[in-house]
Structure 1
Amino acid sequence: MEHPSGRRIFISTGDVSGDLQGALLIEALRDRACDRGIALDITALGGPRMAEAGATLVGETTTVGSVGIFEALPYMLPTLRLQRRAKQTLAHSPPDLVIMIDNMVPNLALGKYLKRAYPQVPVVYYIAPQQWVWAFSTADTEQLVAQSDRMASIFKAEAEYYQRFGADVTWVGHPLVDRYPAPADQAAARQQLGLPPDAPVVTLLPASRRQEVKYLLPLLLQAAQILQARHPGVRFLLPVSSPSLRASFEQGLAQYGLSGRVVSDQGQAAIAAADVAITKSGTANLEIALMDVPQVVAYRINPLSARIAHHLLKFDVPYVSPVNLVVNQPVVPEFLQWEATPAAIAAAASTLLQDEAARQRMRAGYAKMRQELGPPGACQRTADLVLDTLAQPQPRELA
């Protein structure tokens, strides 16, 4: 029997990227459900974008994301509190279906609880953790597959990896293909931001998490300082994804004497306006590539976390940037941990500012990457998969 308020879906995700992907999926779910004459009641652990898309938030998770062993420690208690709140919500209003988005460690804990407390509720994992790139062991992968009734995979290699572990997985393609269907209009973006049409512009994207401000912001600002000495007319833009980061960004610009400004609520325009972006590794790499803007990628974590990963856990992957991973080629230069020095990053960015052939080679790699991400409509395909799963009769609990 259908709930009077509609079919209940619970979504669990974390960080800024998960909030964006969750919001895009919620919009597609509502459209597809409307076509089928189904009312949806969506609650979530997520962020402001998901709330704007129509989800009722039971907890804000965009401020508790982390990368690295020691980086995660400050967020353990807040994460446990959010999990407790989620379980209370589930107990009060048991869902008809649960969607997990990325955010592996919290979602594995929640998935374990769900299978024990609500074994009849189907779980769909969307944007599965990138175990296919950096799994230290197969145990987490096996647990993830055991907890997921269906998986919607955004990368081909990811789908093939989970299939080997027995997952019911469908490759749906990448949702950002719809969001960035064509190269960015640099001239329009510069006009929007009040920038000169012909000045060199470099956009810095150092952080969406507090920990990244500590390890990445000084690194990118030092690289920018070197670039400014080599290219005196360059302007720098720093888009800020969270108001809590704005003060750090503005202080950094002033401290390093950089000609530029912090940009709020116009992140896409700040990337589109750039000749080169210098960015942390992550989803932003794909967005920049789909906008056809040349980029340099850097990442650093706590040095102790890095040494443990490298020496004890034998963490060793050919690439970290999603752009390079998708095509398994070095399309964009990436500088990680000890290799991430201001001089190296500045040199790579300077080459892209001056060398048209290097820019065109990168754009050719971008074109190949776009093909590998699949056709438009990933969110709609995922929404259909979710609604099809929701329509399947589920085994009833024994009295």
Structure 2
Amino acid sequence: MRIFISTGEVSGDLQGALLIAALQRQAVATGYKLEIVALGGDQMAAAGARILGDTSGIGSMGIIEALPYFIPTIQVQRRAIAYLKQNPPDLVVLIDYMTPNIGIGSYMSEHFPDVPVIYYIAPQEWVWSTSFERTKRIVSFTDKLLAIFPEEARYYQAKGAKVNWVGHPLVDRMANAPSRETAREMLGIKEEEIAIALLPASRGQELKYLLPVIFQAAQNIQSKLPEVHFWIPLSLEKFRDKIEKGIQDYRLQATIVSGQQQEIFAASDFAITKSGTVNLELALLNVPQVVVYRLSPFTAWVARKILKGSIPFASPVNLVVMREIVPEFLQEKATSENITQAAMELLLNPEKKQQTLVDYQQMRQCLGELGVCDRAAKEILEMKIR
């Protein structure tokens, strides 16, 4: 069975790798041999896909921010469509990555209508849609939509999509994380040391807009709590030099680690993080966190004019339950002072920390049961079996 998978950015590469591993497991049970070609990154390649184009570093949030990626995005989309034209697969699986995937899905619907298209982790139109046009296009070419959030499932089903809610794949991934004690031993973290994870960037723009304010807050915390040590999991190797320079400029007691993100999360007492998938990973490991996000002033101005405050939260932890579980500071509120104050309260106030952990458990109930990736893989393979 030939499957084409399309996704982008670091988080998409992770989700794609988890899905590929599950597809391989389910293929053994059904007697299929899989050939998987993909747009993705190193993690998907390690899971067994042949990578047609590396999209793990192609990603942005915003208008001005997206301009440097416009040509690479169009190029990789055209490469994918040229491949599909010459090598139509048995199945197409789209993971997030809205702009290229809408083009790929529309092409398949028009030229290969008999090839099922499955959207797994659909674009978050249910959160920030400004019109129904994109939603209509997604529904028009999608034969089955596998939702990871209950609200996502309700939204797309109401718009006419055939939807199954499978749960969030991070439930599976984080279930295999080491214990706090094991992770700290692996990383050589002493018992008295306060380990704080810093997650400033998985996109290039975030090095500019988020790293300085997060590192300044870290410096503030370090001055108040000398026993603190910061751990920075490297999302992309090309970010290393700028992060190392930041550590030096802000004189942080910090260690950059590549390839051990899960261990860092499991070992951490606290995290200061950009908004994104990592927020859920931290929550599933009961790590209190402060969430930060900034865009260019122009993008923020346009968003406010068009969306007019219709986005209640940025962090998926808060979005799942539609209330603030973790403090989040966006745009002008994303100051080192605000981050420091919220961080110190969570670090030093046991009641505040305990409330966060209780709220995490409520959120956890909205992410589904273990076996998410295998459920998704079964749904995908069954589309061809039928």
AA of the residue aligned to 1:165 = K
CA contact (8 A) 2:192 2:227 kept: no
Residue 133 of structure 2 aligns with which residue? 139
**Structure 2 residue aligned with 1:176, among 149, 170, 173?**
170
Give the Cα–Cα distance (whole angstroms) in 2 for the partners of residues 373 and 200 of structure 1.
Answer: 29
CA contact (8 A) 1:240 1:246 kept: yes
**Structure 2 residue aligned with 1:377, among 363, 371, 382?**
371
Residue 335 of structure 2 aligns with which residue? 341
AA of the residue aligned to 2:27 = A
AA of the residue aligned to 2:365 = Q
Residue 282 of structure 1 aligns with which residue? 276
State the 1:92 CA deviation. 2.1
State the 1:198 CA deviation. 1.3
Aligned residues: 386
- In structure 2, the residue corresponding to 1:71 is in which secondary structure? helix
| Residue 366, structure 1, aligned to residue 380, structure 2 | no
State the 1:233 CA deviation. 2.1
AA of the residue aligned to 2:298 = L
CA contact (8 A) 1:182 1:291 kept: no
CA contact (8 A) 1:183 1:292 kept: no
Q: Tell me the C-alpha RMSD between the 2 structures.
A: 1.2
Residue 33 of structure 1 aligns with which residue? 27
Residue 197 of structure 1 aligns with which residue? 191
CA contact (8 A) 2:145 2:163 kept: yes
- CA separation of 1:89 and 1:154: change in aligned 2, threshold 3 A: same
Residue 146 of structure 2 aligns with which residue? 152
Greater displacement, 289-298 / 323-332: 323-332
Structure 1: gaps of 5 or more residues: 1-6, 393-399
Residue 253 of structure 2 aligns with which residue? 259
CA contact (8 A) 1:153 1:170 kept: yes
- In structure 1, the residue corresponding to 2:338 is in which secondary structure? helix
Deviations 1:262-289 (A, max 9, x none): 1111111222222110000110000000
Residue 250 of structure 1 aligns with which residue? 244
| Residue 100, structure 1, aligned to residue 94, structure 2 | yes
State the 1:105 CA deviation. 1.1
| Percent sequence identity over aligned pairs | 51
| Residue 326, structure 1, aligned to residue 348, structure 2 | no
- CA separation of 1:317 and 1:164: change in aligned 2, threshold 3 A: same
**Structure 2 residue aligned with 1:354, among 343, 348, 357?**
348
- In structure 2, the residue corresponding to 1:9 is in which secondary structure? strand
AA of the residue aligned to 1:385 = E
Deviations 1:189-248 (A, max 9, x none): 222112211122211001111111111111100111111122122111111111111111
State the 1:352 CA deviation. 1.0
Give the Cα–Cα distance (whole angstroms) in 2 for the partners of residues 283 and 86 of structure 1.
Answer: 26
- CA separation of 1:16 and 1:183: change in aligned 2, threshold 3 A: closer
| Residue 78, structure 1, aligned to residue 72, structure 2 | yes
Deviations 1:19-65 (A, max 9, x none): 11111111111111110111111100111111111111100001111
CA contact (8 A) 1:228 1:234 kept: yes
Give the Cα–Cα distance (whole angstroms) in 2 for the partners of residues 351 and 219 of structure 1.
Answer: 18
AA of the residue aligned to 2:5 = I
Give 1:40-51 correspondences, 5 Å limit.
40-51=34-45
TM-score computed with the length of structure 1 as normaliser: 0.94
AA of the residue aligned to 2:92 = V
- In structure 1, the residue corresponding to 2:82 is in which secondary structure? helix
CA contact (8 A) 1:184 1:291 kept: no
State the 1:312 CA deviation. 3.5
Residue 317 of structure 1 aligns with which residue? 311
Structure 2: gaps of 5 or more residues: none
Deviations 1:116-152 (A, max 9, x none): 2212211000001111111111111111111101000
Residue 225 of structure 2 aligns with which residue? 231
Residue 17 of structure 1 aligns with which residue? 11
